[in-house]
Amino acid sequence: MSERLNTTDFPWPLPDEGVRAALAAAYLDGSWGRYDGPHSAGLKEDLRELFACDQVRLCSSGTVAVELALRSCGVGPVDEVVLAGYDFPGNFRAIEAIGARPVLVDVDPASWCLDAHCLEQVTGKHVRAVVVSHLHGGLADMPRIMQLARQRGWQVVEDACQQPGATLGGRIVGNWGDIGVLSFGGSKLLTAGRGGALITGNRAIHQRIKIFAQRGNDAFPMSELQATVLRPQLAKLASRNRQRAKGATDFMNSTSPLSTWLRGVTHPAGSQPAYYKLAWSYLPAEQDPTCRTQLIMALDAAAVPIAAGFRGFSRRGRTGGRCRQVGPLTHSQRLSHSTLLLHHPILLASEATVRQAIKILTHTVQRLAGV
Ligand SMILES: Cc1ncc(COP(=O)(O)O)c(C=O)c1O
């Protein structure tokens, strides 16, 4: 068995006859070149059904969707927004873009997501909203987070950009919060190269997005062409998510004997994550971050699609000014040094390719550990 993967075995985007046929039809009927048409309307209908939500707004990216979501929840200058100390960097920027101030709390090291127990410690009359992301195959504790938010009068923006179709407690993620956010960026599980969406059951929230985004024209639009390629992918999302979950389980089970070096993401019993990324903490790197660089370089040489996680915000929390911090950000800081992320296309590869990748990962971790 070769010690280098063949990247053509896990292409992205996937060759998809449904996408090809939809593009050909959009070319023939001219809908590809129109401002509005049947594909955006159809995609909104599909999303309404999948997310069991009345109101859907399509937009240009997940990044802008988070900002629109915060604005639609009434967040403005002088307000504060709670965010995990380890999250997508654009979410910190979205809060700042509104003139609001991030309030950082730690993550749960098992799920990589905002820790509901840390959220409980947050006080302050300026806190208006919470941004919660479901990251790397982990799922945030939405029942507890929503309960707290209701008690305190906070709005919740639920970032499902990494996990379209995931469920928690039998309910699709994105539908738990006051508003949910999706991304259709080029590397995402549903890809249009670019694009995003907002989903909510709250008409007032939806109306506020409309008022902000509608400027004689939609200021943050998704094109008909983007909607065209998303619909056939959405129809296959559930089956592809199942297949990716199987690949993720194979990776997690096969790397469990490496627990001295790797600690994998976990999710609550009965829940079903969607795997845009699959996370491990590389434990030697929690003490010495240079170890992770060495491991990633070795895996890269073998074409194993593993990269570092987010940089996190724990240093910003310490210096104050841009944000405030509630409680220690111990896990956020550790994970910013140690997170390894497997990129999803390999989870749809053949069993032989998955086996080969696991073997290379195992050998590389053992070789660097000197065993
Ligand atoms: C958790 C999370 N939120 C938001 C985004 C932003 O999405 P987009 O790339 O569509 O702007 C990303 C992108 O990776 C993400 O991972």
Instruction: Map the chain to HEC letters.
Output: CCCCCCHHHCCCCCCCHHHHHHHHHHHHHCHHHCCCCHHHHHHHHHHHHHHCCCEEEEECCHHHHHHHHHHHCCCCCCCEEEEECCCCHHHHHHHHHCCCEEEEECECCCCCCECHHHHHCCCCCCEEEEEEECCCCCCCCHHHHHHHHHHHCCEEEEECCCCCCCEECCEECCCCCCEEEEECCCCCCCCCCCCEEEEECCHHHHHHHHHHHECCCECCCCCHHHHHHHHHHHHCHHHHHHHHHHHHHHHHHHHHHHCCCEEECCCCCCCECCCCEEEEEEHHHHHCCHHHHHHHHHHHHCCCCEEECCCCCHHHHHHCCCCEECCCCHHHHHHHHHEEEEEHHHHHCCHHHHHHHHHHHHHHHHHHHCC
- Residue whose Cα lies nearest atom 7 of ligand 1: it is 62
305 pLDDT tier (thresholds 50, 70, 90): very high
Contacts of 311 (CB under 8 A, 6+ apart): 89, 336
Res. 47: pLDDT tops 90:
yes
Q: What residue has token string 């309307």?
A: 41
* % pLDDT > 70, the chain: 98
pLDDT for residue 40: 97
Give the pLDDT confidence of 171-227 residue by residue, as tens digits: 999 999 999 999 999 999 999 999 999 999 999 999 999 999 999 999 999 999 999
Q: Could you tell me if 272 and 245 are in contact, meaning their C-beta atoms sit under 8 angstroms apart?
A: yes
The CA angle 118-120-125, to the nearest 5 degrees, is: 115
Mutate to test the pocket of ligand 1, among 88, 135, 344 (most ligand atoms within 8 A of CB): 88
From CA 158, how far away is CA 325, in angstroms rounded?
20
From CA 186, how far away is CA 12, in angstroms rounded?
9
Q: What residue has token string 């004997």?
A: 257
Res. 2: pLDDT tops 70:
no
Res. 66: pLDDT tops 60:
yes
Report residues whose beta carbon is within 6 angstroms of any ligand 1 atom: 61-63, 66, 88, 90, 133, 159, 161-162, 183, 185, 196
Q: Give the pLDDT mean for 341-349.
A: 98
- Residue whose Cα lies nearest atom 8 of ligand 1: it is 62
Mutate to test the pocket of ligand 1, among 181, 183, 188 (most ligand atoms within 8 A of CB): 183
Nearest by Cα to 73 from 48, 54, 95: 95
From CA 336, how far away is CA 29, in angstroms rounded?
49
Q: Provide the β-strand partners of residue 83.
A: 104
pLDDT for residue 14: 96
Structural domains for the chain: 17-235 (3.40.640.10), 238-369 (3.90.1150.10)
From CA 225, how far away is CA 26, in angstroms rounded?
8
Give the pLDDT confidence of 255-286 residue by residue, as tens digits: 999 999 999 999 999 999 999 999 999 999 99
pLDDT for residue 319: 61
Pairing outcome for strands 196-200 and 179-183: antiparallel
- What average pLDDT does the structure give for the chain? 97
Res. 1: pLDDT tops 70:
no
Give the pLDDT confidence of 309-343 residue by residue, as tens digits: 999 999 886 666 789 999 999 999 999 999 999 99
Distance 217 CA to ligand 1 centre (A): 24
pLDDT for residue 135: 98
Distance 228 CA to ligand 1 centre (A): 21
For the CA of 276, the closest atom of ligand 1 is 16
pLDDT for residue 318: 64
Distance 77 CA to ligand 1 centre (A): 23
Nearest by Cα to 86 from 121, 136, 157, 146: 136
Give the pLDDT confidence of 79-113 residue by residue, as tens digits: 999 999 999 999 999 999 999 999 999 999 999 99
Q: What residue has token string 């070789």?
A: 367
Q: Give the pLDDT mean for 60-73.
A: 98
Q: How many Cα atoms occupy the beta-carbon half-sphere of 274 within 13 Å? A: 23
Q: Could you tell me if 185 and 174 are in contact, meaning their C-beta atoms sit under 8 angstroms apart?
A: no
Q: Could you tell me if 334 and 109 are in contact, meaning their C-beta atoms sit under 8 angstroms apart?
A: yes
Distance 367 CA to ligand 1 centre (A): 34
